[in-house]
Chains A and B, each alone.
Chain A
Amino acid sequence: MIPGTFEYYRPDSVASVVALLAKLGDDARPLAGGQSLIAMMKTRLASPEHLIDLSAIAELHGIREQGNDIIIGAMTTQHELIASELLAKYLPIIRETSLVIADPQIRYKGTLGGNVANGDPGNDMPALMQCLDASYQLVGPKGEREVAARAFYNGAYDTALQADEIVSAVRIGKPVAGHGYGYEKLKRKIGDYATAAAAVMITMSVATCTSASIGLTNVSETPLWAEAAGKALVGTQLDEASIAKAVAAAEAITNPASDMRGPAEYRTKMAGIMLRRALERAKSRAHG
């Protein structure tokens, strides 16, 4: 668990990062909180020759409102997500999710940008971002572009991010007031990745579900936006039959690995159970 040799850089602007990435090419990796990358370097699953630390770049930090959107800088830590009053007001599901990521020490270091950009299927934020229909702002030599979270992930550690780009921010539209939400995660212990987890956002009109969006964590090579499962709930009273239909639709799109967390069949079923429980909580919170 000794990493290979690398050069270390700590630029103070996005422009310098982009210039460095352009110059150093594929052998360079940006370093956010390091909670995935450094572990991979220690086992030499990753051996970047150049490590570009993004922590000194002020413009990558912070959470702000922009019209109907919330913009979160990529280097915002999970601890900052938990502490943010703005998020507590508009997007409490981000706090709920952040609180089940690892432990406080890791959350002081781990960042939203690193969590979404790495493409690790075990990370919690990607499925949540898909559930929220967030989009990622990417910066590279050709300037900025925006990619929807739902279109960002191609496979494990394989994303739409190019080697010469970084994620600079995440943009999330404000959900309507009175929405219901829940992030339910099954894990073996603090610090573990999810055996399965589900993010749920719903709106209700009296007793009828008027919108539903569902994201699933760590039950495939990529995070999953369970579109059909969400649709199965819209227009229903969230009765048992509709929920069973949504659960079946969610389970159908999973393709988990068998690992120490359990065999694939178990993890698929747990995705369904987590969805049920997240939905139950979301329903109890929705008022509209």
Chain B
Amino acid sequence: MNKQTPIDIDRAERTEKLQGMGCKRKRVEDIRFTQGKGNYVDDLKLPGMVFGDFVRSPHAHARIVSIDTTRAKALPGVIAVLTAADLKPLGLHYMPTLAGDVQAVLAEEKVLFQNQEVAFVIAKDRYIASDATELVDVVYEALPCIVDPFKSMLPDAPVLREDIKDKMVGAHGPRKHPNHIFEWQIGDKDATDAIFANAEVTIKEMLVDHRTHPSPLETCQSVASFDKIKGELTLWGTFQAPHVIRTVVSLISGLPEHKIHVIAPDIGGGFGNKVGAYAGYVCSVVGSIVLGVPVKWVEDRMENLSTTSFARDYHMTTELAATKEGKILAMRVHVLADHGAFDACADPSKWPAGFMNICTGSYDIPTAHLVVDGVYTNKASGGVAYRCSFRVTEAVFAIERAVEVLAQKIGMDAAELRLKNFIKAEQFPYHSALGWEYDSGDYHTAMKKAMDTIGYAELRKEQAAKRAAFQRGETRELMGIGISFFTEIVGAGPSKNCDILGIAMFDSAEIRIHPTGSIIARMGTKSQGQGHETTYAQIIATELGIPADDIMIEEGNTDTAPYGLGTYGSRSTPVAGAATAVAARKIKAKAQMIAAHMLEVHEGDLEWDVDRFRVKGLPEKFKTMKEIAWSAYNSPPPNMEPGLEAVNYYEPPNMTYPFGAYFCVMDIDVDTGVAKTRRFYALDDCGTRINPMIIEGQVHGGLTEAFACAMGQEIRYDETGNVMGASFMDFFLPTAVETPHWETDFTVTPSPHHPIGAKGVGESPHVGGVPCFSNAVNDAYAFLNAGHIQMPHDAWRLWKVGERLGLHK
């Protein structure tokens, strides 16, 4: 048994006091959030502020014959009504999207989806603005609409985007049809086709990852305030990437970037919904520039669900070729991607289908080919990464469903099939057939730990008994065991392949130690609830030996924070977290020089000890970081500039690749179609763990959203393009009552290229959770030869499966 010496105890006490990495530190931001003291965009009240509201199209596709604003303008309290005719002279009736397309700010000649913005009413209060929207008279001529993406490219399909109908080369290459956006290909087509032609076993399934919505509780909103005297614009808004918004505003408004102040205050959830730019932001800015008073725009729930960025809507024809023993030889995927009326995907610019090419998953599949066709339909635009890295939920859903379909076809256990095909620990760094270099992983260890913990073999025995009982008519319940083993790709990204509108996807940290040894650090990212104020401080605490409670983290103000690309795609820890560590290490290097000067020894004679530099072999001779900070301002070494601060712009050398093994046990009531999750076990490997409590919270949140998506959440349209269920009455947002109990677990495989070995975790549970739930449902019905059952798995759809299989009396 190790006996602790007084020195060990002292060191442990000093370490604990820091609340650094690995500590379950309570979230500092929750003090204000749990007391209703957060400061959100809609809390902002400025003198003279006026309010905007949109007139929206009732049609999914219609020509605008006329817009008459006379009655609206006559309503007392109405200040202005903007239409495309007002924006056109400014060149602002369209705005650029992140995907290289343009998007209407206010519809000019046509509307292309229901609830599209047609006019912006500005009034002295929110109620008058809303009243006035009903007084704008718009005459429409309805046109036939496209709701089904498989009908977009039919020869006689109505042309949706007349504004670009003659532009046969888009931002990502040639367009095959006026409703076609891009075709994106990767991998070796010929080699893949050859393997499929000769394979012993092949499977092919059209897997739909249906349209849904990130639905943050706080909707999208902005307040624009233009100072005509100074020529400066201040824009508060719900921005996951405030610096990028500032650049975009500068580019489209012509205002110099230094005269634009973008501020993202507290944000009530983003999940990808708040990455893009919306008509409301532009209209509030134009309104303020024209009127010279602050203009506030706040979306309501229906507007958020029906107009701002949706997610998914990927129709993935997925094929695997394998030996009859279950060794996967090749993968072939064709995706039909429904992007809605404009291509407003929020992906790095060179990636029109995001990182869909991570679809070979956690398996050593030597040959693969992927084609993605993006098309326009009469639906809202978007295609954002809803709590996942770019299109990674879609990719993981495709592979994790496909391996189950293969396992069933060859009569092999689905866990065993995975173990047989995993990339082995010694194969890392692993080069995938579709172009990624997986930095690290140990899939077998994680999978086996998960199987042991959940008691996989016992569960399969129980399932066999229940299936027999079902067939004897003794129970009306089906038991499903869902498995998913995912590999995420996060932390975008290296500048060689990742940029947004030409800006490399680095991120940044600026750390400043004050004379008394407390710290302010400013970041280029922006928390929407992830707990950045807590976790970045923990990284700095460990790196610099200053207690986390003495460190303030600030984000979201583009005047003070260093430029960064923002928070989405689990990039904050992989990129800005790395910047934080690197900046801290710059400070530490200087601190070591100061300490050497103070102790009158050579730098090389010092060693770091939790919160101090001490002389090697003389532990009683030391200087704490706090003492060093004072000295940096009071008596720095000769020829050294005073102060103790550093900035780092971190260019990641690679993505990070978190992974995990998830298991779900589900019981389905055949007569109602109601599925009940009995157990859900999630093992995550996100590399080095900064705050286990925050990780657990992230996993709970991500799983809850995965549960929602798999089990009923959707944005559905009827055949005339009416959006169904765009309110929380109908849109499935689970409450604590419906949400299953989550069991969490972990392994740790640090990222070899990240300064602290961290990989990011916020989105893993969503990416891994969706296929796990869907696999559980599919597994429940598998012994009845149900075939692939599409999501969402809400009760009525599962009941219909029972009808189809003749399970009801």
Contact = CB atoms under 8 A, between A and B. Distances in A.
B131 A273 contact: no
A262 B725 CA distance: 12
B712 interface: yes
Contacts of A188: 712, 732, 794-795
B674 A186 contact: yes
Interface string A179-201: 00000001011111101000000
Interface in A1-50: 1-5, 39, 43-44
Q: Point out which of A2, A186, A192 has the most chain B C-beta atoms below 10 A from its C-beta.
A: A2
Nearest to A3: B127
A43 B672 CA distance: 32
Interface string B705-730: 00000001000100000001101011
A206 to B, nearest CB: 29
Nearest to B671: A273
Given A1-B300, A2-B300, A260-B730, A190 B127 contact: no
A262 B738 contact: no
Interface in A247-286: 259-263, 266, 269-270, 273
B302 interface: yes
B474 to A, nearest CB: 16
B130 interface: yes
A270 B672 contact: yes
A217 to B, nearest CB: 15
A1 B302 contact: yes
Interface string A93-107: 000000000010000
Contacts of A4: 127, 130-131
B796 A266 contact: yes
A260 B735 contact: no
Contact of A186 (B301, B729, B735, B795): B795
Interface string B652-695: 00000000000000000001111000000000000000000000
B113 interface: no
Given A2-B130, A259-B730, A273-B671, A189 B796 contact: no
Nearest to B735: A190
Interface in B116-133: 126-127, 129-131
Contacts of B735: 103, 189-191
A282 B163 CA distance: 65
A278 to B, nearest CB: 13
A263 B803 CA distance: 13
Contacts of B130: 2, 4
* Interface of B, helix, strand, loop or mixed by DSSP: loop
Contacts of B716: 260
A262 B795 contact: yes
Interface string B594-634: 00000000000000000000000000000000000000000
Nearest to B808: A269
A195 B671 contact: no
A4 B732 CA distance: 28
Interface string A231-261: 0000000000000000000000000000111
Contacts of B729: 39, 192-193
Contact of A189 (B727, B737, B808): B737
Contact of B734 (A2, A189, A269): A189
Q: Point out which of A39, A189, A195 has the most chain B C-beta atoms below 10 A from its C-beta.
A: A189
Contacts of B732: 188-189
B674 A189 contact: no
B795 A195 contact: yes
Interface string B280-310: 0000000000000000000011100000000
Q: Point out which of B126, B672, B734 has the most chain A C-beta atoms below 10 A from its C-beta.
A: B672
A183 B55 CA distance: 44
- State which size class the interface on A falls in: 20 to 34
B800 interface: yes
B251 to A, nearest CB: 33
A235 B63 CA distance: 65
A44 B672 CA distance: 35
A262 B300 CA distance: 26
Contact of B301 (A1, A189, A193): A1
A5 B738 contact: no
Contacts of B737: 189-190
B299 to A, nearest CB: 10
Contacts of B712: 188
Contacts of A260: 716, 724-725, 730
- State which size class the interface on B falls in: 20 to 34
B796 A263 contact: yes
B798 to A, nearest CB: 10
Contacts of B671: 273
Contacts of A2: 53, 126-127, 129-130, 300
Nearest to A1: B300
Given A186-B672, A189-B738, A190-B737, A261 B131 contact: no
A96 B734 CA distance: 23
A19 B671 CA distance: 52
B799 A262 contact: yes
Contacts of B672: 186, 270, 273
A44 B302 CA distance: 13
Nearest to B731: A260
A262 B716 CA distance: 13
Contacts of A193: 729
A5 B131 contact: yes
Interface in B450-469: none
Contacts of B738: 189-190
A186 B730 CA distance: 15
Contacts of B126: 2
A268 to B, nearest CB: 11
Contacts of A259: 724, 730
Contacts of A189: 732, 734-735, 737-738
Contacts of B300: 1-2
A270 B735 CA distance: 23
Contacts of A39: 729
A191 B738 CA distance: 11
Interface string B736-763: 0110000000000000000000000000
A202 B757 CA distance: 67
Contact of A262 (B127, B131, B796): B796
A103 B734 CA distance: 13
A9 to B, nearest CB: 19
Given A188-B732, A191-B735, A269 B301 contact: no
Contacts of B127: 2-5
A1 B738 CA distance: 26
Contacts of B808: 269
Nearest to A39: B729
Nearest to B303: A1
A34 to B, nearest CB: 15
A263 B718 CA distance: 13
Interface in B157-203: none
Contacts of B53: 2
A233 B253 CA distance: 74
A5 B126 CA distance: 11
A260 B800 CA distance: 14
Q: Point out which of B131, B725, B737, B796 has the most chain A C-beta atoms below 10 A from its C-beta.
A: B796
B778 to A, nearest CB: 20
21 contacts: A1-B301, A2-B300, A3-B127, A4-B127, A4-B130, A5-B131, A39-B729, A43-B302, A103-B735, A186-B674, A188-B712, A188-B732, A189-B738, A190-B737, A195-B796, A259-B724, A262-B796, A262-B799, A266-B800, A269-B799, A270-B799
6 tightest Cβ-Cβ pairs between the two chains A and B:
A262-B796, A2-B130, A1-B300, A260-B730, A266-B796, A260-B725
Interface of B: 53, 126-127, 129-131, 134, 300-302, 671-674, 712, 716, 724-725, 727, 729-730, 732, 734-735, 737-738, 794-796, 799-800, 808
Given A189-B732, A192-B729, 10 more contacts: A1-B300, A103-B735, A189-B737, A189-B738, A190-B738, A260-B725, A262-B794, A262-B795, A266-B796, A266-B800
